[in-house]
Amino acid sequence: MDNGTNVVKAIQLIKTLHVLCTAHTLHLSVTKGLNATGAFKKYITNLILFFNDSPKNTENLRDAQCKLNYQKVYEVLLNVQTHWNLMYIAWKCLLELKNAILYLITILKISSEKDDKDDASYLEQINLTELEWSLLINMHSDDEIIDLATRANQALNILHDYVQKYKNIPVNFQQNSDS
């Protein structure tokens, strides 16, 4: 459940147990931390939007993966505010697509079609620099981050089981007259 004051008040009014949503709190924390990356996050988002906003660009990326013999064809994922770890997954997916993106820039540059050349020019402009790709690689190869994400997921599963077990128990919110 959301941790907003309106939700907390509603829970009190219906006199039921309120367990703060750990997933929501974790999502807010991760999002706030990633927002601190500022321009870097914007560059990644622009690259993701290039493929998500155009069926033609999406298809070109799929074709590039096939030509490079990718074992699996990846789709570029767009971050969704309500999915607490989707930004991490989207960035990891983008990392898998690096070679296909670089290949696609080259293929579009040598195309005889003006639209392809324009797409190549724009994609080259918004593509991450080698330093930015390296930063993305380091973020996803950090064992501490992966371990933390794994433990957080385990904690969320335990909390979910707890909430399911106790969610229908009424709680008395009235003050004890002895206090």
pLDDT at residue 172, as a whole number: 52
The total of structural domains in the chain comes to 1
The predicted structure's pLDDT at residue 120: 96
This prediction has a pTM of 0.64
Render 110-156 in DSSP notation, one character per residue: H-S-HHHHHHHHHHHHHSPPHHHHHHHHHHHH-HHHHHHHHHHHHHH
Identify whether 52 is part of a domain.
Answer: yes
Is residue 128 in a domain? yes
Virtual torsion, Cα 115, 119, 121, 124, nearest 10 deg: -160
Residue 125 falls in which region: left (phi positive, over 0), alpha (psi -120 to 50) or beta: alpha
Report the pLDDT averaged over residues 141-148. 61
**For the ranges 16-30, 85-99, 104-118, 135-149, the one whose mean pLDDT is highest:** 104-118
What value does the mean pLDDT take over residues 40-68? 92
Q: Please state, rounded to an integer, the average pLDDT across all residues of the chain.
A: 78
18 lies in some domain: no
Length reported for the chain: 179
Give a yes or no: residue 26 inside a domain: no
In a domain, 93, yes or no: yes
Local confidence band at 150 (pLDDT 50, 70, 90 cut-offs): low
Inside any domain, residue 168: no
87 within some domain: yes
Range of the domain at 48: 38-157
pLDDT tens readout for residues 114-131: 999 999 999 999 999 999
Asked whether residue 146 is assigned to any structural domain, the reply reads yes
Rounded to an integer, the average pLDDT of 143-153 is 61
